[in-house]
Amino acid sequence: MSAIATAPALEVKDVEVVYERRDRDPVRAVAGVSLTVGRGQIVGLVGESGCGKSTLAKAIVGLEKPRAGTIVFEGRELSPLTRRARPIEDTRLQMVFQNPFSSLNPRRRIGAQLAEALQMAWSGSRAGGDGSLRERVAALLELVGLPASASERYAHQFSGGQRQRIAIARALAADPTVIVLDEPLSSLDASAQAQIANLLVRLSRELDLALVLISHDLAIVQHIVDEVAVMYLGKLVEQVPSGELWQQPAHPYTEALIGAIPRADGERTLPVALAGEVPDPSAPPPGCRFHPRCPYAFDKCRVEEPAQLPIGRGREVACWLHEGAVEPRRPSELAAARAATTP
Ligand SMILES: Nc1ncnc2c1ncn2[C@@H]1O[C@H](COP(=O)(O)OP(=O)(O)OP(=O)(O)O)[C@@H](O)[C@H]1O
């Protein structure tokens, strides 16, 4: 097999994105992030508003130019050029935005918009596939659970969930291997959220499609992702397979995010409350960026930035509590053990 066929679908390596601002300090919205997404894998990128998720998404698809770092797509480093200047193969890396209404043209029939997306993909090196353009549009609509007759209608004639299906169909027109979806569920009601979540899982499995699912709400994505990458103030603080997330969150921020999710019985899952706001990314706290909000912070956390520490299979955490740890432990347990041994 070629190197490209065996490479991960997407590798983000030490990416940094800085917004320069007139008369104000620059914002380092993404402050050195590395993330690997395997083929067919669904990775949830979660964190509070303002932590840099959208900026990272834009850097991945070429809508923001990273100041440093590289994006490797199917084993090939992407050009640091803007999206328009990239070669056509790179359209296999697609993005879906939060509000499908604003990304669909209100004055053109859905079928025409999907046909255009198909033609753009075909104008590249790839073959057009079987069947006429009309049949391919119908097949795309079917793939996302809409009837062929949807092609005759306009965006405003659909519900929010249906519009998101159309936006996904348009991304699929490019025959992608990776789709980055920025808050694809958050503008939808609960039932549409569940339907689109199911659709995304099905598409990922059927098409061996890797998805990066961005959400400020861990509760929304928890059931559909294979892995969770937790972002805080421009950095990844933890990467964890979703199955282990509940049993063993390793970073105090992850623990707090989980604790904030209400359970069906009205109780909180964990007694850790997340106090305060995300600090200004143009002036991040020294040491660990989370330390001012961390219930377990100790001296080292206030001065030294934690490295990404491997803690078991496929897991990493940036937290000094885990220094020297050989397996994942809850931060509350580690803090208690530390308190017991520290004079
Ligand atoms: N064009 C810009 N110019 C200057 N600062 C920006 C710009 N876009 C984003 N920022 C800042 O960069 C930081 C990260 O923003 P970003 O939108 O990536 O975060 P986010 O986690 O996606 O949050 P949200 O869910 O609210 O979009 C924020 O402090 C934001 O104010």
Distance CA 164, CA 153 (A): 15
- Specify the higher pLDDT residue, 165 or 277: 165
Distance CA 279, CA 50 (A): 9
pLDDT for position 125? 45
Distance CA 153, CA 157 (A): 7
Domain boundaries, the chain: 3-225, 249-341
Q: Which residues pair with 24 in a beta bridge?
A: 21
CA 281 / ligand 1 centre spacing (Å): 9
Closest CA to 160 of 204, 196, 132, 124: 196
What average pLDDT does range 292-321 have in this prediction? 92
Token pair, residue 247, equals 């049993």
At residue 278, what is the residue type? V
Distance CA 186, CA 165 (A): 14
CATH code for the structural domain at 3-225? 3.40.50.300
Output the residue whose Cα is nearest ligand 1's atom 28.
Answer: 50
pTM (two decimals) = 0.91
Distance CA 97, CA 164 (A): 9
Output the residue whose Cα is nearest ligand 1's atom 29.
Answer: 50
What average pLDDT does range 197-225 have in this prediction? 93
Helix and strand counts by DSSP (H, E) for the chain: 12, 12
CA 319 / ligand 1 centre spacing (Å): 24
Are 36 and 237 contacting, i.e. CB atoms less than 8 angstroms apart? no
- Which is it for strands 235-241 and 227-232: parallel, antiparallel or unpaired? antiparallel
In eight-state DSSP terms, residue 282 is T
- pLDDT confidence band for 216 (50 / 70 / 90): confident
Question: How does pLDDT run across 71-87, given as a tens digit for each residue?
Answer: 999 888 886 655 555 55
What average pLDDT does range 252-257 have in this prediction? 91
Output the residue whose Cα is nearest ligand 1's atom 18.
Answer: 52
Question: How does pLDDT run across 101-113, given as a tens digit for each residue?
Answer: 777 899 999 999 9
Q: For the chain, what is the mean pLDDT?
A: 87
pLDDT for position 8? 92
Closest atom of ligand 1 relative to the 55 alpha carbon: 18
Report whether residue 215 contacts ligand 1, using a CB cutoff of 6 Å: no
Q: For residue 311, how many other CB atoms are within 10 A of its CB?
A: 21
Question: How does pLDDT run across 195-208, given as a tens digit for each residue?
Answer: 999 999 999 999 99
What average pLDDT does range 124-145 have in this prediction? 79
Output the residue whose Cα is nearest ligand 1's atom 11.
Answer: 29
Distance CA 19, CA 27 (A): 5
pLDDT for position 10? 95
Q: Count the alpha carbons within 13 Å of 140 in the hemisphere toward its beta carbon.
A: 32
